[in-house]
Structures are given as C-alpha cells and as structure tokens.
Amino acid sequence: MMLRIALVAGALLLIANTSGAQLGRQQGLKDPNVATEAELAAAGLGADVAKALVAKRPFMSIVELDQFLQQQGLKREQIAPLYGKLFVHVNLEMGTRDEILLIPGAGPRMVREFTEYRPYTGGFAQFRKEIGKYVDSTEVARLEQYLFIPINLNTASDEDILSIPGAGRRMVREFKEYRPYDGLEKFRKEIGKYVDQKEVARLERYVMIK
C-alpha cells in the first residue's frame, strides 16, 4: 500500500514538474534557430539551404521560416516532411492561425481547439486535458512538441529557463541577475549586454512578465 502511494505521489510530482516547462515535451524535434548546420542538412535541407538558413536566422516564427524555404526554391511537398524534424515552436497563448496550420496534421480543427482554451493557466497539464478530449494521448504528445508557453521572467525556475532553445546556464544566470523585471525594456537592455539584438528578440519570444 505504501509503495502504491509513493508511486502515485511520484507520478503527480513528475506531472507538476513538467507542466510548467517552457516547451512541450519534445520527441527529437530540432529548433532551426539553434541547430547546427550539419543537423539542418541531415534533417533534409541539404548543405546549401542549411548554410543559407544559418546565415539568415533567427526566424521569429515558423511562418517566417516557411517563407524562407519557399524562397530557396523548395516546394510544399519538400517542406512538409521537414516539419516532422525541425520547427520554430508556436506560442500556445498567442500563436496565429497561420502558425498553427503549419504544425503537421493540425488543421483548422486544432486552430479552433488550441485557441478556445486560452489562457493556459494550468500550463501543459491543461493542454493535455483539453486537447485530450479530441485526440488520443499519442497525438496530444505529438502536437505538444511543437508548442511553448512563455515563462514568467520574475519567477521562472532554472529548469524553465534552460528549456528555452539555446539558452544555457549563462542565460539562467543573466535572466535571474536582473530580477525583478518591471517591463520587457529592462530585459532587452540587460540581456543586450551579452548577446546581439537579434538574439535578444529570439529569447524574448519565450518570456513574459507578470
């Protein structure tokens, strides 16, 4: 009996810890803004497009990346399979219709369901519950990997900050050093001491201030 209670408690703790994570649970999806040139080429872009992508990034949305890939001469039938391997994550709270529709297999129905339950005050635990009304747990997990929920700059844990693609331990230290943040202007000013403005803008996608 005690073992059973311990196992249940452990499972609940795991859910609590993962529900506040920056990104949805990942299944090997690469973020094209931080992936290496070799990883991008291996995902199916080819060496020339991968090199051009690295030179052009960061991309602030999957729509922006999609337009870039089309400009490189890739057809829709070539682009679509790529998004099973690499993707610019969509903000679950603010993602647009066009962004959500680029998630493989999402479609208009998921645009409606994703947006219906905003704001996701319960984090990804709420997402799993609500979207689980329409598709099975395997599909919920597949969709989740394409999404993120912004973290609160003033209260985010080290784990939350580290889940931002490409953040690393240095950014954990810098994000926390300047707390409390009274606005995003302070974030831009302080983090801009360490990285260029393009990288500040990329990181800013993943944060909010409450």
Q: Report the pLDDT value the prediction gives residue 21, as an integer from 0 to 100.
A: 55
DSSP H helical segments within the chain, as ranges? 2-19, 37-40, 47-56, 62-71, 76-82, 97-101, 107-116, 123-131, 137-144, 158-162, 168-177, 184-191, 197-204
Per residue in 88-115, pLDDT (tens digit) is 999 999 999 999 999 999 999 999 999 9
What's the rounded mean pLDDT across residues 40-62?
A: 97
**What's the rounded Cα separation, in Å, for the pair 67 and 113?**
25
Whether pTM exceeds 0.85 = yes
Instruction: Say which DSSP state 30 is in.
Output: B
